[in-house]
Structure 1
Amino acid sequence: MEPDATRVRFRHRPRTTPTPGGPAQRAQWADAAKGVCIILVVLWHVVMKNYLQVDWHIGVPVPGLWGTLGEQFLPLRMPLFFTISGVFAANAVHRPWRVVARARIAGFLYLYALWLLIHTAVLAAVPQLPTDRASSALGLLEQLTITPSNLWYLYALALYFTIAKATRRAPRALLLAPAAALSAVAAAGLLDTPGNRAGLYQNLVFFLAGLFLRPRIHRWATTANRRRLVLTTAGYALALAAMAAAGAQRWFGVWPAVSVLAVIFGIAAAAQLARWSALGEPLARLGRITLPIYVIHMPVLALLHRLLLVPVSELGRSAQGLIVLGYPVLLTGVVIGLSLAVHRGLLAARAGWLFALPGPRRGEATG
């Protein structure tokens, strides 16, 4: 079988000369970070779109605790994902426009449009799943253009690559400052952000930060130790607690600032995980195949939701009590496993065009 087209084009590994304890280790921590992020993405969708929709009648607030726990990772999950994406994009933006335009911008837009159509078709069969969906031709056009769907990460990458390539010669401060201001304005609710526009506005600054601050980020990761992990964990936890206590989520600049702390913590934690081979290596492997999980997991979750919602809701109190705590973890594992199985099946069926823009591959990807 030919190399996985997804990996050829979307792994975005840093291209640096190997040195002892150098870039190979950095790639490991970055891939591990992506692995954690995709798990958190799937877990959040499992909790919000299935777990909290179940009629739990167990008499204890465990479901609410899972919802609260998921909210604590909101400042971390996508900002860290986009920071790592920016780190991996550092070489790509310096390639010729024809390469960037096809392999990155057109590639991501192609995947976004293709999988938006697939999601729209599958989600139409599961109307009870609480998620954004196009229910008309006009709604589909809106999701294709100005209000991205649940697949907005792909849409954002195409837009961010365009911005980064077009402004690559501009002073970094002139890009980071407006991007940070846009993030703060969107997080404060000062812009109209239907659908997933809020995420689109808020995360450009993290992509650019990963792009521009790549050497410093690598240095932070490779020098991270347990003491730094403890300090960054405490800082992130205190920031979350203070924001919640003051009800400051919508205060101008607060959410982006907490997200910065979350990313600093996330990089330190990923670096520590990468050094623990028993966990770091599986997470890194998962981090190298985030694309198929990202595009496939929502249809899989939708079908599982249709299959499980009523039976789980109708279980007796004792049976629900046995599964209520571990249900989100188990279902997250099932969704990820099935997504990867579907991906392998599609590749075996020569449907690699579902995961990469058809046409020249390796040459364009490596430019």
Structure 2
Amino acid sequence: MRRLPALDVARGLAIVLVVLHHAVLHLDAAHLLPVGWRSVNGELVLLRMPLFFLVSGLLAASAAGRSWGRLLRSRLVPLLWVFALWSLVRFAVFRVVTPRFQPWEADSLVPLLLAPLRPTTGLWYLYALAAFTVAARALGRRAAWVLVPAALLSVATSEQVLRAPYYVWHQMGRCFVFFLLGWCLRAHLLRLLGTLRVLPAAGLSAVGAGVLVAHGAGLLDVVGAASAVSVVAVVCGLAFAVLLTALPGAGAGALCAAAGWLGRRTLPVYLVHELVVGVGTSAVVALGVAAAWGRPWWLPPVWVVLAVLVSLGVRAVALRVGASWAYEAPAAVVERAAGLVERVGGVLQRAVRAPAGRGARRARGGTP
């Protein structure tokens, strides 16, 4: 099925919210955050990653029919390559330049060494995306059966009924259902988005904004409200993306084109933006200009624009100097890693089958 422009727009909006989230965190740690932004950022948690994972699951669903070998080479190894490589980069930058704003990543080598099992960095989305893809592919046609348990897990984690020992695991428990919804309902979602018109899209967008504002104001302070608001916000976020693609006028067209263009380039922004935010915040503090600035309301949006532009600029320079390996796993690495996984999988399969085969032969030998 064709890829709708609204999906790229939705991804573009989601990555902007991710950048804003980290800008708020770093500015807050440096005591530079303007009044009100902490509350806004806290409310957007109900939309940001759920929307990102829903669209990711929808786009990843084409991998459902691939063999494990092809899936390893086309998606899993490339994801884990950039996750491992940029985890090293983040450790170096945050340890040398911004240790006071990112201590949980840079205070020792332990978080870095445990990242394959216990990711604690801002790159956890890549880790979760690989894990969710493996889970959905392994479930096959049974993936739809897991929607209800995944929804219950999401509610339990969102409402703090179930608390994972680490933030990333907690977020994965909250967001898996959204990835699975995109994976399982891809055809239906594409059909609905393709037929959604301007007025219904505008109405849904207004509903989503209203629900988020009401929840932030404490008007929906009941058990389960956060989970329900998150679902509504994601649906309305998709509707807003459709609305941007349908609005007439040069301004709306330019905004839609920019969001869609960014939505097709989320990886370089995701990998680099927090480094830009962290280094920029440290520079502001070190230069002492924070006192002259105060806490202007425009500081987080400026940080977002700066982080996006620098991230894309870093990628452009990397490609110009032949360092595409920073964003794409080299073919040799992909082939060797996939081959190693396939060999290990074959050994494990034979080890599992051998006892079963011996048991079957004994059973046949003991039958009269």
- 1:256 and 2:232 aligned: no
**2:175 maps to 1:203:** yes
* 1:115 correspondence with 2:86: yes
Structure 1 runs not aligned, ≥5 long: 1-15, 17-22, 57-61
Aligned-partner SS, 2:142: coil
Whole-angstrom CA distance in 2 between matches of 1:171 and 1:209:
9
Q: 1:215 maps to what in 2?
A: 187
Structure 1 range deviating more: 139-148 or 326-335: 139-148
**Larger CA deviation: 186-195 vs 87-96:** 186-195
Q: Give the superposition deviation at 1:243.
A: 6.8
Is 73-82 or 125-134 further displaced after alignment? Answer: 125-134
- Give the TM-score normalised by the residue count of structure 2: 0.82
Choose from 215, 218, 224 the match for 1:245. 218
User: Residue 352 of structure 2 corresponds to which residue in structure 1?
Assistant: none
> Is 1:72–2:40 an aligned residue pair?
no
Amino acid at match of 1:336: V
1:232/1:314 CA distance change after superposition, 3 Å:
same
SS in 2 for 1:145: coil
Aligned equivalents of 1:195, 1:76: Cα separation in 2: 17
Tell me how far apart the structure 2 counterparts of residues 237 and 340 of structure 1 sit (CA, whole Å).
30
Tell which deviates more after alignment, 261-270 or 219-228.
219-228
1:45 and 2:22 aligned: yes
Partner residue in 1 for 2:290: 313
The letter of the residue matching 1:245 is G
> Cα gap change, 1:185/1:234 in structure 2, threshold over 3 Å: closer, same or farther?
same
- Give, as a single letter, the amino acid of the residue that structure 2 aligns with 1:326: W
Cross-structure match for 2:308:
336
Quick check: 2:119–2:127 contact (8 Å CA) kept in 1? no
Q: Determine the structure 2 residue equivalent to 1:297.
A: 273
Match of 1:327 among 291, 299, 303: 299
In the superposition, relative to structure 1, how do residues 233 and 282 fare at CA in structure 2: closer, same or farther (>3 Å)?
A: closer
Q: Deviations over 1:220-263 (max 9, x none)?
A: 322333432343234334533247526748x3x43332111011
TM-score with structure 1 length normalisation? 0.82
Does structure 2 conserve the Cα–Cα contact (< 8 Å) formed by 1:76 and 1:262?
yes
Q: In the alignment, does 2:159 pair up with 1:183? A: no
Q: Contact 1:87/1:214 (CA < 8 Å) preserved in 2?
A: yes
Q: Which residue of 2 aligns with 1:232?
A: 204
The one-letter amino acid paired with 1:233 is: S
Q: In the superposition, relative to structure 1, how do residues 47 and 312 fare at CA in structure 2: closer, same or farther (>3 Å)? A: farther
The separation in 2 between residues aligned to 1:361 and 1:114, in whole angstroms, is 12
Distance 2:235 2:152 in 1: 20
Q: Secondary structure at the match of 1:112?
A: helix
In structure 1, the residue corresponding to 2:116 is in which secondary structure? Answer: helix
- Percent sequence identity is 32
- Which residue in 2 is equivalent to 1:19? none
Asked which structure has the greater CA Rg, the reply is 2
User: For each residue in 1:87-118, what CA deviation from the matched residue of structure 2 results, as whole angstroms up to 9, or x when unmatched?
Assistant: 11121121111011222122212211111111
Are 1:279 and 2:255 matched, yes or no?
yes
Relative contact order (alpha carbons < 8 A, sep ≥ 6): 1 or 2 greater?
Answer: 1
- The alpha carbon displacement at 1:124 in A equals 0.4
Runs of 4+ in 1 over 3 A off after TM superposition: 53-56, 237-240, 246-249, 360-363
Task: Give the number of aligned pairs.
Answer: 326
**Whose helix proportion is higher, 1 or 2?**
2
The 8 Å contact of residues 245 and 253 in structure 2, kept in 1 or not, is answered as yes
Amino acid at match of 2:245: A
- Shift of the 213–356 alpha-carbon distance from structure 1 to 2, 3 Å rule, reads same
RMSD over equivalenced CA pairs, Å: 2.4
Q: Which amino acid aligns with 1:179?
A: A
1:155 equivalent in structure 2? 127
Return 5+ residue gaps in structure 2 as ranges. 247-251, 336-368
SS at match of 2:330: coil
Letter in 2 for 1:349: V
2:19 partner letter: V
- Counterpart in 1 of 2:74? 103
Please point out which of 158, 164, 168 is paired with 2:140.
Answer: 168
